[in-house]
Amino acid sequence: MGSDKAARTLIATAAFGLESVVASELHRLGYGDLATENGKVTFPATDADIARCNINLRCADRVLLQMGQFRATDFEELFQGVKAIPWEGLIPENGVMHVTGKSVRSKLFSVPDCQSIAKKAVVEAMKRRYRTEKFPENGPVYRIEVALLKDVATISVDTSGPGLHKRGYRSDRGTAPLRETLAAALVLLSRWRPDQIFADPFCGSGTIAVEAALIGRNIAPGINRSFAAEDWPHLSRQLWMKAHDEARAAVRSDTLQILASDHDWSVFKMARENAERAGVAEAITFQKKPLAEFSSKKRGGVIVCNPPYGERMGDTQAAERLYEEMGRIFPGLPGWAVYVLTAHEEFEKFYGKKSDKNRKLYNGKIRCHLYQYTKDVG
């Protein structure tokens, strides 16, 4: 697995509803022949792309290296299929192997049993290559995933380590956090341009505003973190150095107009700290103020927000009054597009206007809709 030109198959996993956003990201990065399915986008790549995708993808959850795919309706088929994979080309003799699994609509429905069988098969393959019965497992980590769907087993290895939403700038002390990957997706779905005003009047810990600033400056989300595959001896350090150098060279110094406001001082202070850690604090104007004071005479701005929706606050009526206030204020902004993510099923009723478009997404395990108001933009 040494050549950066070796043919590989990578899987960018995605939260429900974000598969097309991840596919668009990959397309912009220059990848083709994309296969988009529920929860993932599969594409041909090279070893060098393991580094490039981990560092640059904003909305994907993880980047997996696909090792094999075969039909498995019993444990023997699973064992032989996993054993036939050339693991010695990836995992060194001291590699630490963890096996995870999932099964959907398959005869092999016991995930713990599938994990155990797969681990035994990998060990057998390793014994054949390294001519030993015992492995110290004190080296780099390899998290192997066995995913069964309709009796087809896809065997992959996680290259990311901690999920790609962990950019390294957020303290996670706030309540009901919005994942960075979802926040970035909201910004991309809004089609905001860096020459437009961007606003989040419910900024909370600042995730949406920070992700907008990273996008506006073209700062790669993984530029300041490490990944599991960096420790793999078969992947050259030069691949990672080159990918980091390319990402740093692509950073822009555009002047941005990003407004982040909130009435809650405790989370507001956290938002500023997060922006500072992300290196974009000077690109964001932070204001402590309630929604009632939000206004602008400038044309053509974009609002992307995730207001409280009762389910998290424990106060549905307060959330509904907030939506009514939004419905009075936002339409008065000249030519502004509005994107609101909420789990409240009757948001449009309280906002006072049917959305031009809505999209089902998940904030963690909470089903939400992204309500989009764009037709009056001019």
pLDDT mean over 4-16: 88
More confident residue, 170 or 278: 278
pLDDT mean over 114-135: 92
pLDDT mean over 42-68: 97
Domain ranges of the chain: 8-158, 180-222+250-373
pLDDT tens-digit readout, 325-343: 999 999 999 999 999 999 9
| pLDDT > 50? residue 2 | no
Nearest to 230 by CA among 51, 3, 90, 1: 51
Q: pLDDT band at residue 377, thresholds of 50, 70 and 90?
A: low
**Tell me, what's the pLDDT at 171?**
75
pLDDT tens-digit readout, 204-231: 999 999 999 999 999 999 999 999 999 9
**Tell me, what's the pLDDT at 275?**
96
Distance of CA 274 to the CA centre of its chain: 18
Residue 41 DSSP class: E
Question: CA-CA distances (angstroms) from residue 194 to 70, 91, 254, 255, 302?
Answer: 45, 43, 7, 8, 11
Residue 292 DSSP class: G
Report whether CATH 3.40.50.150 matches the domain 180-222+250-373. Answer: yes
Amino acid at 263: H
Q: pLDDT band at residue 291, thresholds of 50, 70 and 90?
A: very high
Q: What is the largest CA-CA distance in the chain?
A: 74
| pLDDT > 70? residue 110 | yes
- Measured distance CA(49)–CA(63) in Å, rounded: 10
Identify the three-state secondary structure at position 79: helix
pLDDT tens-digit readout, 138-182: 999 999 999 999 999 999 999 999 999 999 998 765 555 799 999
| pLDDT > 70? residue 258 | yes
**Tell me, what's the pLDDT at 4?**
61
Report whether CATH 3.40.50.1820 matches the domain 8-158. Answer: no
8-158 and 180-222+250-373, same CATH topology: no
User: If you average pLDDT over every residue of the chain, what do you get?
Assistant: 93
pLDDT mean over 296-318: 83
**How much of the chain, in percent, has pLDDT values that exceed 70?**
95
Q: pLDDT band at residue 324, thresholds of 50, 70 and 90?
A: very high
| pLDDT > 90? residue 351 | yes
**Tell me, what's the pLDDT at 1?**
38
* 257-262 vs 197-200, strand pairing mode: parallel
